Structure 1
Amino acid sequence: MSITSETKTAFSSKDFHQTFARPVFVRPDKLIHKNVEQAGEHNQFSTERKHPVFFVDLPTKNVSMTIGGLLPGQLTNKHRHTYETVLYVIEGKGYTEVEGERVEWKAGDAVYIPSWAWHCHQNLSNSESARYIACENAPQLQNLGVALREEEGRDL
C-alpha cells in the first residue's frame, strides 16, 4: 500500500467542479473466503432469522453476500430493511411475499426485494430444503449510518 504526501485541499460546496476522483488501488487483507459453509453458520444471525445463514467474509464496504437456507416447509418472519436484496435460488422451490404480492421461485431464479418492503420467504417443499445466495447493499448503508432492519411486531 502506498501513501502519497499530496497536500489535501479543503473544498466547500461551491468548489464541486474542482473535485476530481483519483482512484487508488489498495490491496485488502483478504481476496478469498474458502469453503464458506464449512466455516459454520453465523449463530446469532441464524437464531434471529430462524434459518441457517452463512456469511461470505470478505472486506467489501458496499455489498454483502450470504448463503441462506430454508428448512422443509419453513416460513420466515415478516421483516423489512433499508437495503436492497437480490436472492439467487440455488436449490428448492418456494415463494417470497413482497408487500403482499406472492413471487414464486425455484432453483435458477433471482428475486428482487426493494428497500423497506415488508417480505418473508416460504419453502414449499415439506421434504427438501431450499438454499439461496443473498446479495445486499447493507454494508454501504451501514457505513453511512442509515441501515435499519425491522421484524414485524417489534419496534425499531
Structure 2
Amino acid sequence: MSATTQKEGAFSSGDFHQTFARPVYVKPAKLIHKNVEQAGEHNQFSTERKHPVFFVDLPTKNVSMTIGGLLPGQLTNRHRHTYETVLYVIEGRGYTEVEGEKVEWEAGDAVYIPSWAWHRHQNLSDSQPAKYIACENAPQLQNLGVALREEEGRDL
C-alpha cells in the first residue's frame, strides 16, 4: 500500500517502510467546514464545560480548532490537559486564570495555556458575550495515546 492510499488509522511497526525521505501529498476527505457555528454546538462538550463549544470538523491529525463562547458573566470549570492551547479572542473581554494567575484579555488578544496547567475562563461583561478560537495540539497527542483531560467536578 502506498502512502497516498494509506487507510485512515494509526501506523504500526509493520508500516515503517512507508516513512519516506520526501513528503507525499495525501488528499484529505475535505478542505473546508462551512458555517461552523450554524452546524451546531457540540452538546456533550458544551454541557460538560458549561459554555457553548463549536468543533471545527476538518481531518487534521496534529492540531484542532474550536470556537468557544462565553455568555455574559460566565465562568467555566477549572480543567487541565496534556496538550497546549492558544486562544485568539474574537469578541468580548474577560480573563483566563492559569494556575491561579489572572490573564486579562479582549478582542484581538492571543492567550497561551501551557500543558497540564489548571485554568478556567471568565467573561467580564454582564451584558455582552465573549468568543474565542482555541487551537490545540490535542489530535497529535491523541494519536500518540498520551492526551489526557481532567475536569474539576467531573474527575475530581
Normalising by structure 2, what TM-score?
Answer: 0.87
Once the 2 structures are TM-superposed, how far is the Cα of residue 10 of structure 1 from its aligned partner? 6.4
**Whole-Å separation in 2 of the counterparts to 1:58 and 1:24:** 19
1:102 alignment partner in structure 2:
102
Aligned residues between the structures: 146
2:65 alignment partner in structure 1:
65
Letter in 2 for 1:24: V
1:74-105 per-position Cα deviation (integer Å, ceiling 9, x unaligned): 00001100000000000000000000111000
Normalising by structure 1, what TM-score?
Answer: 0.87
SS state of the match for residue 115, structure 1?
Answer: coil
SS state of the match for residue 48, structure 1?
Answer: helix
1:141 alignment partner in structure 2:
141
**Whole-Å separation in 2 of the counterparts to 1:146 and 1:9:** 21
Cα-Cα RMSD? 2.2
SS state of the match for residue 122, structure 2?
Answer: strand
Instruction: Give the percent of matched residue pairs that are identical in Structure 1 and Structure 2.
Output: 87
Once the 2 structures are TM-superposed, how far is the Cα of residue 29 of structure 1 from its aligned partner? 1.1
Unaligned 5+ runs, structure 1: 12-18
**Whole-Å separation in 1 of the counterparts to 2:20 and 2:77:** 45
2:29 alignment partner in structure 1:
29
1:32-54 per-position Cα deviation (integer Å, ceiling 9, x unaligned): 00000010011111111110000
1:14 alignment partner in structure 2:
none
